């Protein structure tokens, strides 16, 4: 019996829209938004679809996270004249065969680390799902790969020989096309000089630096991937870099909500480690981490996340999206990873946990609220309830300032 695939063939207008697809464990949303900002210099009606938002040009669009919802947004953009799109591709969508229902001209791989193993069953299946984007690139397509991630070498093996490979990395070594030098991170953003391979140097003539409003070396690395993808899509490098300099990272990506108070979507071991690494040099006092983990999935990452949380001076364990699990049991797994850390407390109510972190923070401390980022709801056994880390922080910070 033949299997009925959930995705129909691409619509007739698919090839009218040059699409950049972005996949990886972390950094997808920020990369997608920077690519869209760069392509907007060519196409004011560019379509941008990520887990954070969906838009055609400057118009934000509410659409369900389904294939039909995706097609509806694309069709709307096509009717308005859009000829470019930047889209985020999750492992779930790729594993279910999304590339049968849409075609990308450029594919970007950010990185691969522990996530969604409850869904995929093994790291190998997780990577194989990501690989579907690159297997599906056309003969004249371009693959933009993070050379510093060992999974890129495996992806390279499944990409058609005719597809062009461009690479970025944290340092300039053999096989790297774009890397940062003299990187600088402060509360205003991140900047670096650019090191460019000889083969791409003509495309980057006159572009020697890149500055982005996002804070952290990992965001600069994502921006390098976005810059290469934008150039591959036909955007002059100077125009792309200028557009990215005007475009902040999406909400919840090391978002400074109040002085010294940051919200970050870090919900995997690798993302949490990177976020703490960004926060530490910016912190002149103590670093306080408010941390939980999602329920009902990927239990194996909880103890490793606890181990990584040791890098904070103070840790407040709390609920994240517990779903149908006991939030205290989830916190216990994180606590196991924290070992003998001297300053750990448990405040299950997330609003109260954030409040306690702010009340104790001194003027030179940094409070990092991790896990939910841009999300505006909390999933519990009772269902979804409105909840925004950023909104809670603003409310409690203003109240504290008025006292």
| 319-347: burial string, b at 16+ Cβ within 10 Å, e else | bbbbbebebeebbebbbebbeebeebeeb
pLDDT band at 174 (very low <50, low <70, confident <90, very high): very high
Asked if the model's pLDDT at residue 139 lies above 60, the reply is yes
Total count of domains within the chain: 2
Of 245, 280, 296, the one marking the end of a domain is 245
Res. 234: pLDDT tops 60: yes
Helix axes 350-360, 389-402, angle to 10 degrees: 40
Residue 91: predicted pLDDT: 84
Domain that holds residue 341: 255-402
Please report whether residue 203 resides in a domain: yes
Positive/negative CA dihedral, 301, 304, 306, 311: negative
268 and 356 housed in the same domain: yes
Asked if residue 232 is part of any domain, the answer here is: yes
372, part of any domain: yes
Q: Is the pLDDT of residue 122 over 70?
A: no
Q: Is residue 4 part of a domain?
A: no
> Half-sphere exposure of 19 toward its Cβ, with a 13 Å CA cutoff?
28
Residue 13, Cα to own-chain centre: how many angstroms?
A: 28
Residue 260 confidence class, pLDDT cut points 50, 70, 90 = very high
pTM, two decimals, is: 0.89
Q: Which one of 187, 220, 245 terminates a domain? A: 245
Burial 138-150 (b: 16+ CB within 10 A, else e): eeebbbbbbbbbe
Choose one of 211, 245, 279: the last residue of a domain: 245
Does 41 map to a domain? yes
Backbone angles phi, psi at 161, to 5 degrees: -55, -35
Q: What is the pLDDT of residue 388?
A: 98
**To which H or E segment does residue 144 belong?**
strand 142-146
Where residue 56 sits, what CATH number does that domain have? 3.40.1190.10
In our burial notation (b when 16+ CB lie closer than 10 A, e otherwise), range 110-121 reads bbbbbbbbeebe
CA dist 322 and 326 (Å) reads: 7
DSSP 57: T
pLDDT mean across residues, the chain: 93
CB atoms within 10 A of CB 185: 18
Could you tell me the CATH number of the domain that includes residue 295?
3.90.190.20
Above 50 in pLDDT, residue 308? yes
Closest CA to 224 of 149, 169, 171, 181: 169
Evaluate whether residue 8 is within a structural domain. no
Query: What pLDDT was estimated at residue 120?
Result: 42
Check whether residue 141 and residue 190 sit in a common domain. Answer: yes
Same domain, yes or no, for 322 and 275?
yes
Among candidates 25, 53, 77, which has minimal Cα distance to 374?
A: 53
Q: Could you tell me the two tokens for 176? A: 């790297």
Do residue 197 and residue 307 come from a single domain? no
């Amino acid at each position: 019996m033949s299997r009925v695939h959930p995705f129909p063939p691409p619509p007739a207008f698919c090839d009218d829209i040059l699409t950049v697809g972005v996949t990886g464990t972390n950094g997808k949303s920020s990369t997608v938004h920077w690519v869209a900002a760069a392509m907007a210099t060519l196409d004011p009606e560019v379509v941008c679809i990520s887990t954070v938002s969906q838009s055609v040009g400057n118009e934000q669009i509410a659409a369900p996270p389904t294939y039909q919802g995706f097609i509806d947004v694309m069709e709307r953009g096509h009717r308005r004249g859009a000829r470019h799109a930047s889209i985020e591709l999750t492992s779930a969508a790729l594993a279910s065969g999304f590339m049968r229902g849409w075609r990308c001209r450029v594919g970007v791989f950010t990185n691969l680390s522990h996530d969604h193993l409850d869904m995929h069953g093994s790291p190998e299946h997780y990577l194989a799902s990501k690989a579907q984007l690159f297997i599906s690139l056309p003969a004249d397509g371009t693959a933009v790969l993070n050379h510093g991630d060992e999974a890129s070498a495996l992806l390279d093996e499944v990409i058609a020989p005719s597809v062009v490979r461009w690479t970025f990395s944290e340092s300039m070594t053999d096989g790297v096309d774009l890397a940062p030098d003299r990187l600088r991170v402060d509360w205003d953003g991140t900047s670096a000089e650019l090191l460019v391979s000889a083969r791409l140097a003509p495309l980057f003539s006159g572009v020697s630096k890149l500055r982005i409003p996002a804070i952290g070396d990992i965001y600069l690395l994502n921006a390098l991937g976005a810059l290469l993808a934008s150039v591959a899509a036909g955007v002059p490098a100077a125009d792309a870099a200028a557009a990215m300099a005007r475009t902040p990272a999406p909400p919840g990506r090391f978002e400074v909500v109040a002085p010294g108070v940051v919200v970050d979507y870090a919900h995997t071991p690798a993302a949490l480690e990177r976020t703490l690494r960004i926060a530490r040099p910016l912190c002149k006092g103590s670093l306080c981490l408010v941390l939980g983990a999602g329920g009902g999935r990927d239990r194996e990452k909880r103890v490793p996340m606890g181990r990584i949380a040791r890098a904070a001076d103070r840790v407040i364990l709390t609920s994240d999206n517990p779903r149908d699990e006991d939030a205290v049991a989830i916190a216990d797994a994180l606590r196991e990873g924290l070992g003998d850390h001297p300053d750990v407390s448990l405040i299950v109510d997330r609003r109260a946990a954030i409040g306690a972190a702010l009340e104790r923070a001194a003027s030179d401390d940094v409070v990092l609220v991790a896990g939910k980022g841009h999300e505006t709801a909390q999933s519990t056994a009772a269902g979804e309830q409105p909840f925004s880390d950023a909104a809670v922080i603003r409310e409690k910070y203003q109240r504290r300032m008025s006292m």
